[in-house]
Amino acid sequence: MVRAVSAAETAATSYAWAIHAQALRVRAGRRMAVDGLDLSMDTGVHGLLGPNGAGKTTLVRSIATVLRPAGGTLTLLGEKVNGRIDLRGLRRQIGYLPQEFGYYRRFTVREFVEYIAWLKEMPAAETPGAVQRAIERVGLADRADDRMKTLSGGMVRRAGIAQAIVNDPRILLLDEPTAGLDPDQRLQFRALLRELGVDTCVLVCTHLVEDVAAACTDVTLIDAGRLVFQGLPTDLAAAASSDVGADTGAADSAAERGYSAILRRHRERES
Amino acid sequence: MGARILGIELRRSVAMPAALVIAAVGVFVLFASNPPYRSWMELVVVQRDIMQLTWPLALAAGAWQGIRERRSRVEELIATTARPRPQRVLPVATAMAIAAVVAYLVMLAGGTGHLRHPDGYFPAGAVPLIALGALALVAAAWLGLAIGALLPSPLTAPMLVVIAFLGLAVVPPMLRDQDRGEPGAVLLLPFLQGPRDGGYELQVLSARANLSQALWLVAVAATGLALLAAARTATRVAALLPVLLGAAIAVPAMPRQLAAAWVADPRATEVVCTRDEPQVCIARMHSYALDELSGPARQALSVLAAKLPPAPTRVMLRTFGDGRDDGRPPADTLLAFVSPDDDVLARTPDDLVEIMLDGAGVPPCPNLPGASPGKVISGGSRPDAEARYLAARRAAGAWLLDRDPEPARAGEELDVTLARQALDALHALPADRQRARVAALRDAERTCAPGDRLDLLTGTSGTR
């Protein structure tokens, strides 16, 4: 796959981590949803797991610069985002698929992706090619000129991924990207993830442990706004084998059993 | 700004459908509520007047577009993008402005279908009226966009239509003074009331009124755009500055009374003439009728030349209410009153010749019976003085054309039997005496000399 390479990308990176959080605290409404999180991520596909209400979406929204941190530090691509700094340059290098992906129903897929590319301040000359490439990568080329409102749920999700990757982001945030995709589409999506992870810091927020096991180079597990586990997907599976006393069905995958084992042990320690 | 993004917004935003609806509603009202327009000025002013309806629609269209980000739930996605809000809203604001201007011009073009003489006089004063109307629609669309973005509720757009429409209907009567009419400040409202006497063709809006209105509308539009572009409360407050400044300058600059904003258009009443001889002339605002009237006018000249020399060599056509006062015509001019809207459309060229030769080609005297009822001042006040006066004039015309006197026209107190008797009496005389009698009537009419014209024509003096 040929990919446009911008000057910013070929420049040597001056930072150690694409995403670096220290004692990060982020409010979601009144609740401190992320509460003292330490996290470091670089190029690769990072699966972000955690139970409902663990603070996954809040963490992703703060990395997307939608929410401002309430405490601690968050450093993205070497830039601290805590203070009142100009986020413009940073935002050009972020791709984001929100959990609730809204879109303009009357736009065609191509128009919508182009509109987002414009909002991300892509150079006008590169935009049409980048839009076509993004749409092809998510397998929507045959529907590129159809209105968004005519797409099925899975297609909308893929259009959402297309708009997130159109600017070849350094940080790509995907919140529940596989919701609504059928099994075949999920396989294709995992292949795309692996491809993107070669030169991008991809953060995939999901409930589906098997997606993480299959496509991620790295797994992060958080609970109650704190880091519980960070390691390889195989480490997750390994945690299952060392687990004793859990009643688990044989049909559950090793990764899933590992996930719940780590979570249970963490909660026991906390209480 | 991104021409491609503007293209997308023009295709996909509510801009063009809204333009279509506004233009359609406007054209419907232009046709439905009025008889065909007699002049460009009337159409242009009425189009401004019905902005009482079209302006709220443009406001609502803007508001509907303004809540799009909330309605489509893209705020989260947009919050993570780099482009600053002022740049982001520019394409959609431009698309809405284009739509507003298109709507206004399409409405005007549609309205010309209800205009009697599209080839008629188009005063220069109509151009600012059209431009300011389009500007007012742009201001409405931008203000609507800002309100929609600030109050992103599905109710915003329908509520705005109702509030704006009622507001525009209620405010002007509240400001109206029993004696002096509306104050000049009603020029701040997005619709424009025409001159009170309805003399659209004769008047234009003064430059002062146009300029102060332009300033005000630019200020409103600027505030709308600034409010839309503002992301923080402080910037939103600052966005109100243009409209306050605009009001502070425009209100004192406006005429005290609305009536004073309408001034005479001297070009409308100026006379225009045919290039070729013999010259036929008419007020510029009725110049569209010149082609149709110049044939009968020249025929009238040649009849006079043949039967009643020395004849006039040019024709000056007057219309009722053309704002001119030419006095009595000199000997070289045939002065006739025609109504360009009724006579030209309804009558044959022969009839027109007859109208022009009434009274041997001299218009009726304003102070003699027959011309202005109730103002009988001289020539003996017989109870039927008016009928006798008109009969004499009619008989003179019939003699010139050598045909029967035309029966009374609508609103004319003419006894055609009287005219016929006078004509018979005239024909009984030798030919040179006949000509002398008609010439005497013509001379008397030119100077408005007192005396009974019927006696003068038939040669009987004193009593009947």
pLDDT, tens only, B96-109: 999 999 999 999 99
The pLDDT score that the predictor gives to residue B376 is 43
Average pLDDT over residues B19-46: 94
Query: Which residues, 6+ apart, have CB-to-CB distance to A63 below 8 Å?
Result: A19, A74, A76, A94, A171, A173, A203
Q: Is the model's pLDDT at B136 over the cut of 90?
A: yes
Q: Are B183 and B177 in contact (CB under 8 A)?
A: yes
pLDDT, tens only, B270-287: 889 999 889 999 989 888
Say if B81 is an interface residue toward chain A (CB within 8 Å): yes
Query: Which residues, 6+ apart, have CB-to-CB distance to B365 below 8 Å?
Result: B328, B371, B445, B448
User: Å from B229 to nearest chain A CA?
Assistant: 15
The pLDDT score that the predictor gives to residue B88 is 96
Q: Report the residue of A85, A106, A112, A145 to disrupt the B interface, i.e. the one with the largest count of B CBs within 10 Å.
A: A106
Higher-pLDDT residue of A182, B377: A182
How does B371-394 read in b/e, with b if 16+ C-beta sit within 10 Å? beeeebeebeebeebbbbbbbbbb
pLDDT, tens only, A124-166: 999 999 999 999 999 999 999 999 999 999 999 999 999 999 9
Looking at the whole model, is its pTM more than 0.90? no
Average pLDDT over residues A186-215: 91
Q: What is the distance in angstroms between the CA of the first residue and the CA of the last residue of chain B? A: 90
pLDDT, tens only, A7-62: 555 655 678 899 999 999 999 989 999 999 999 999 999 999 999 889 999 999 99
Say if B88 is an interface residue toward chain A (CB within 8 Å): yes
Q: Are B69 and B75 in contact (CB under 8 A)?
A: yes
Beta bridge partners of B283: B271
Residues of A in contact with B80 (CB under 8 A): 64-66, 91, 94, 96
Say if A45 is an interface residue toward chain B (CB within 8 Å): no
Nearest by Cα to A228 from A48, A21, A42, A43: A48
Nearest by Cα to B213 from B258, B272, B170, B277: B258
Q: How far apart are CA B412 and CA B339, in angstroms?
A: 15
- Where do runs of H (alpha helix) occur along B194-232? 207-229
pLDDT, tens only, A260-271: 889 888 888 887
Please judge whether A64 and B78 are an interchain contact, meaning their C-beta atoms are less than 8 angstroms apart.
Answer: no
DSSP symbol at B37: B
Q: Report the residue of A111, A126, A161 to disrupt the B interface, i.e. the one with the largest count of B CBs within 10 Å.
A: A111
Please judge whether A114 and B5 are an interchain contact, meaning their C-beta atoms are less than 8 angstroms apart.
Answer: yes
Say if A105 is an interface residue toward chain B (CB within 8 Å): yes
Residues of B in contact with A168 (CB under 8 A): none
The pLDDT score that the predictor gives to residue B374 is 40
Q: Is the model's pLDDT at B173 over the cut of 80?
A: yes
Q: How far apart are CA B50 and CA B312, in angstroms?
A: 48
Q: Is the model's pLDDT at A69 over the cut of 50?
A: yes
Residues of B in contact with A64 (CB under 8 A): 79-80
Q: How far apart are CA B308 and CA B310, in angstroms?
A: 6
Please judge whether A66 and B79 are an interchain contact, meaning their C-beta atoms are less than 8 angstroms apart.
Answer: yes
Beta bridge partners of A203: A46, A173
Nearest by Cα to B316 from B307, B327, B305: B327
Please judge whether B88 and A121 are an interchain contact, meaning their C-beta atoms are less than 8 angstroms apart.
Answer: no
Across chain A, mean pLDDT equals: 89
Say if B73 is an interface residue toward chain A (CB within 8 Å): yes
Q: How confident is the model at residue B212 (pLDDT cuts 50, 70, 90)?
A: very high
Residues of A in contact with B83 (CB under 8 A): 118-121
Residues of A in contact with B8 (CB under 8 A): 107, 111, 114-115
The pLDDT score that the predictor gives to residue B375 is 40
CB proximity under 8 Å: B 12-31 to A: 12
Range in B5-9, B242-246, B352-356 the model is least confident about: B352-356
Q: How far apart are CA B242 and CA A20, in angstroms?
A: 45
Residue corresponding to tokens 């509603």: B25
The pLDDT score that the predictor gives to residue B379 is 45
Across chain B, mean pLDDT equals: 88
The pLDDT score that the predictor gives to residue B369 is 56
Question: Looking at this predicted complex, what is its ipTM?
Answer: 0.89
User: Å from B14 to nearest chain A CA?
Assistant: 10
Token pair for B124: 């220069």
Q: Are B36 and B114 in contact (CB under 8 A)?
A: yes
Q: What is the distance in angstroms between the CA of the first residue and the CA of the last residue of chain A? A: 50
Q: Report the residue of B8, B13, B72, B81 to disrupt the A interface, i.e. the one with the largest count of A CBs within 10 Å.
A: B81
Higher-pLDDT residue of B374, A172: A172
Cα B363 off chain centre by: 26
Q: Cα-flanking dihedrals φ and ψ of residue B322, to 5°? A: -90, 5
Q: Report the residue of A105, A119, A171 to disrupt the B interface, i.e. the one with the largest count of B CBs within 10 Å.
A: A119
Please judge whether A111 and B77 are an interchain contact, meaning their C-beta atoms are less than 8 angstroms apart.
Answer: no
Query: Which residues, 6+ apart, have CB-to-CB distance to B360 below 8 Å?
Result: B304, B308, B393, B396, B397, B400, B438, B439, B441, B442, B445
Q: How far apart are CA A152 and CA A159, in angstroms?
A: 10
Q: Which among B4, B73, B82 is the nearest to A121, CB-wise?
A: B82
Q: How far apart are CA A138 and CA A27, in angstroms?
A: 33
Q: Is the model's pLDDT at A205 over the cut of 80?
A: yes
Q: What does B275-286 look like in DSSP terms, one character per residue?
A: SSSSPEEEEGGG
Beta strands per DSSP E along chain A: 19-28, 31-41, 44-49, 71-76, 79-80, 94-97, 171-175, 201-205, 218-223, 226-231
Q: Is the model's pLDDT at A5 over the cut of 70?
A: no
